[in-house]
Amino acid sequence: MELVREISVEEALKKGYRFIDTRTAEEFSEFHIPGAYNVPLFTSEERKEVSKVYYERGEKEARLYALELVGPKLYLIVRKVKEIKEKEGKVVVYCWRGGLRSLAVAAICTLAGVNVPRLIGGYRAFRQYIMERMAEILKNKKLVVLYGPTGCGKTRIIRILREKGYPVIDLEELAGHRGSVFGGIGLQQPSQKMFDALLWQELERLKDSPCILVEGESRKIGKLFIPEPFWEAMQKGEKIYIELPLKERVCISMEDYGVDKFPPEVYLEALSRIKKILGDEKYREIKKFIEERKYPEAVSELMVNYYDKLYARSTPPEAKPFYVKSFDEAVSTVESYLISVCG
């Protein structure tokens, strides 16, 4: 009889197991299974020390040294796992590849009477599963992709319709970025693996919806890439283009980007990245507006001379256009279109 029971990713998800990540706090912070708890076997420094012993003195010595490090804290680890299990009911432990860390935690817990299985293949198996699962969910799913120049309030529309109960995925929210050269100001992006996991979680939430509304993005959002299955579904989806008058777009952008909440230097640093595209004369003009805190003028010039040209090139020609006079009209227009497409 095996001391530690093992279960697959699919079984764990279908049966509602909660996950316990045994990797270091730093590894967990970078990426983890959404909703997982972190009960690390080692600290980052301890893990480095064990690896050093492994490469210098071999596997047996490394295991003995690892036991020396974790021995004094085994009781605390078991107690924490026990508390989580009592709270959640069913739990499963995992590490990066279903290796020694999750095996050690599962084994010591089981010996102490806290029976917990470990995840076959660890996080790596989970990642492979969710990438395949994304493609499976999207196979027969219709995406409605919302395009429009900067300041049309696309993200606002997405979030308002989500609050109304429509099937919506907010890519910029998941990516921690507004999708432009100024889009990272005041925000922090997750790792690519974490972004993919959060997107999969949203797809699972909407797996029974006939369609999903998303905002039109480039393949790259800040430093992150939209996963291939989702990107392909966006290219095949229904496309709608919404546009508001420039004056209203400037007001919306000022609010959405939190303009004037940061010192001019923050905006000037972002502006410098598109200096060549703007040209020296226009760059100096916008730079002066920012330095003088004339932000509405700066935003208006950026829209006309940079963003609108950029969106004109990236907006699919087949996108159905709607030219509206106000933001409220934009919301109702997209809502009506979504109802007509999704039924």
* Positions of E strands within the chain: 6-7, 18-21, 37-38, 91-94, 118-119, 142-147, 211-215, 220-221, 224-225, 238-243, 320-323
Which amino acid appears at position 133 of this protein? R
Closest CA to 105 of 96, 113, 94: 94
Kindly state the tokens that stand for 240.
């709608």
Amino acid (one-letter) located at 341? V
Is 268 within 8 Å of 287 (Cβ atoms)?
yes
Question: Would you give the distance in Å from CA 152 to the centre of its chain?
Answer: 23
Q: Which two tokens stand for residue 208?
A: 């029974």
**Cβ within 8 Å of residue 222, ≥6 positions away:** 175, 176, 177, 179, 183, 184, 189
Strand order of the sheet with strand 6-7? 6-7, 118-119, 91-94, 18-21, 37-38
CB-based contacts of 39, cutoff 8 Å, min separation 6 = 20, 21, 22, 77, 80, 81, 84, 93, 105
Q: What is the DSSP string of 176-223?
A: TS-SSTTTTTT-----HHHHHHHHHHHHHHTTTSSEEEEE---SEETT
Distance of CA 215 to the CA centre of its chain: 14
Question: Which residues participate in catalysis according to the annotation?
Answer: 95
Cβ atoms of 169 and 338 within 8 Å: the answer is no
